Each structure stands twice: as C-alpha cells, then as structure tokens.
C-alpha cells in the first residue's frame, strides 16, 4: 500500500467539516474535498489495476467494449449532479460478476457481469442501470462520507491491511483477495444500506434522464433476487437491502423515472 493512500485517509482538518451534499442538498459531514475524492479514486484504481496485473487479469483487452462502456459512462455522467468529474472506466476480464466505483469518478466493470450464462446483465439498458448506480455512489460521495463516519475504525484496519500485504503472496486468489481488502475493507468501505438505497434511487433517475429505459433496473434486481443463492453473485448483490426489496423500492420510483425517460427519448429522437 502506498503511503500516499494512508495519508489521504487522514484529513488534515477535522473541524468545520459540514458540507452540502451535491445530490440531496442536505448538510452532511465530509472531511474530504471533491479534489480529495478524485485523488483518492485515482490511487485506489491504481492499486486495483496493479493487483489485477499481478494476477494476470487482462485489462481493457476489448477496445470496442471499453469504448462502449466509456460512452455510456459519459452519457449518464452528463446528466448527473457532478458532470465535470474525470469519469473513467476500466474493463477487467474476469468471471467476477460485479462493478464498482472509486470516489471521484474512477470505475471498474468485471466482464463476468455480462457473461452469457454466469453473468447478470443481458442488455444495454441493464448495463446502464449498473453504471448509473455506481455513478450515483460517486456523486453522492458515499465513500468519503463513510470514511468520515468511520475514521477511527479505519485507522485500526490499516494495520491489518499492511500486515496482509507484507506477507506477500503470489497466488492469484490471494492476490485478488488482497485487492479487495484494499478496495472493500480498507480504502473503500462497504456502503451502508442507506447509501445503497440512495444510489439505487439516484441512479434510476440518472439512467432515465440519459435515455436508458429505467424498467431495466427493476428487471435486473428481480433477476438477482431469483438467483440470490448463486455464490458468484455474492460481491455485487450481498449488500444489505435484499435484491427483492431493491426491486420493489425501484418499482415505486418507476412512474417518475418513466416520465424522465420519455422526456429524454423525445429530446434524443432524430
């Protein structure tokens, strides 16, 4: 782990940390600036990329797919609350069924997400639902809000992560595990239930405004619920709200999202 990442975890100013959330307009505690988000996201992605390379995981092998993902990201980010962040997406060729966002706009998709049999996403609208959800985590600044809340716990975890790294193993599974320790356990905390629910709701409106059919989000979570026993879906779908609850919550927001979608479609029509 790079020292700079550790330093990022220690905000210099612990006072006057109430800021206004760019999405909800609520006053929230966040010790980090947007620039901190961006810098931290780049550091984290650098670590993830390094870990993947060490594990011989191909990155961005399919230029066409990456370009398509980036286009989708740009289109959704453009209608988000923070359109000017340096949004960038990486495609990791592994059978992991997942996607993630680091703070500040750096994102990753694992190709397992759209594997024909093992994957979950079956069309572009569904892929857009996943990406819009991740972008919502970024614009809601869930990572640094949560780091702010959990700073004391985090400091204790740093020791554990350094120990894991110091053992230095070259086994792929362990290397990936370490990568996820960095990603999920240490640098990027698991999102809370409230954060997930917020990202679902905010992401639904983003995808609709960008002209992707929001019904795809409901479909996606319903499919996830039907397959909830599948261990491959663990990472993306093990978060606190159950998949069925997520689908139901999204369904309630669907009428509003459909209005946005129809409006966006009318604008985009040739």
Cite the active site residues. Answer: 134
Minimal distance in Å, beta carbon 264 to Zn ion?
Answer: 23
Minimal distance in Å, beta carbon 142 to Zn ion?
Answer: 8
Query: Which CB atom, from 196 or from 260, has the smaller least distance to Zn ion?
Result: 196
What distance in Å separates the CA atoms of residue 187 and residue 147, rounded to the nearest whole number?
A: 8
Q: List the one residue out of 112, 108, 128 whose CA is nearest residue 120.
A: 112
Query: Which CB atom, from 36 or from 196, has the smaller least distance to Zn ion?
Result: 196
Minimal distance in Å, beta carbon 268 to Zn ion?
Answer: 27
Q: List the one residue out of 182, 200, 208 whose CA is nearest residue 240.
A: 200
Query: Which CB atom, from 178 or from 199, has the smaller least distance to Zn ion?
Result: 199
Contacts with Zn ion by CB under 5 A lie at 196, 199
Angstrom CA distances, 141 to 23, 119, 158, stand at 9, 28, 21
Query: Which CB atom, from 4 or from 190, has the smaller least distance to Zn ion?
Result: 190
What distance in Å separates the CA atoms of residue 244 and residue 223, rounded to the nearest whole number?
A: 9
Minimal distance in Å, beta carbon 265 to Zn ion?
Answer: 26
Q: For residue 214, what are the contacts with CB-CB under 8 A and spacing of at least 6?
A: 129, 204, 205, 207, 208, 250, 254, 257, 258, 260, 261
Q: For residue 96, what are the contacts with CB-CB under 8 A and spacing of at least 6?
A: 110, 112, 113, 232, 235
């Amino acid at each position: 782990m790079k020292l700079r990442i550790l330093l990022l975890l220690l905000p210099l100013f612990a006072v006057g940390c109430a800021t206004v959330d760019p999405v909800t307009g609520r006053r929230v505690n966040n010790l980090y600036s947007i620039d901190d988000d961006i810098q931290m996201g780049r550091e984290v992605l650098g670590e993830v990329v390094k870990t993947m390379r060490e594990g011989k995981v191909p990155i961005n092998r399919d230029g066409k797919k990456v370009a398509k993902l980036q286009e989708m990201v740009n289109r959704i980010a453009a209608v988000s609350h923070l359109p000017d962040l340096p949004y960038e997406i990486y495609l990791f060729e592994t059978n992991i069924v997942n996607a993630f966002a680091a703070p500040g706009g750096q994102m990753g998709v694992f190709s397992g997400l759209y594997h024909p049999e093992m994957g979950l996403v079956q069309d572009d609208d569904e892929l857009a639902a996943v990406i819009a959800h991740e972008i919502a985590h970024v614009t809601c600044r869930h990572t640094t809000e949560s780091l702010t809340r959990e700073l004391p716990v985090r400091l204790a975890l740093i020791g554990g992560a350094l120990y894991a790294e110091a053992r230095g193993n070259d086994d792929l599974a362990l290397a990936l595990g370490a990568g996820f320790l960095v990603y999920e356990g240490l640098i990027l905390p698991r999102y809370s239930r409230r954060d997930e629910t917020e990202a679902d709701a905010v992401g639904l409106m983003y995808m609709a405004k960008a002209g992707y059919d929001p019904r795809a989000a409901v479909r996606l979570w319903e499919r996830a619920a039907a397959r909830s026993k599948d261990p491959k879906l663990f990472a993306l779908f093990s978060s606190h709200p159950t998949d069925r609850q997520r689908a139901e919550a999204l369904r309630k927001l669907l009428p509003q999202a459909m209005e946005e979608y129809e409006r966006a479609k009318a604008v985009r029509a040739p």
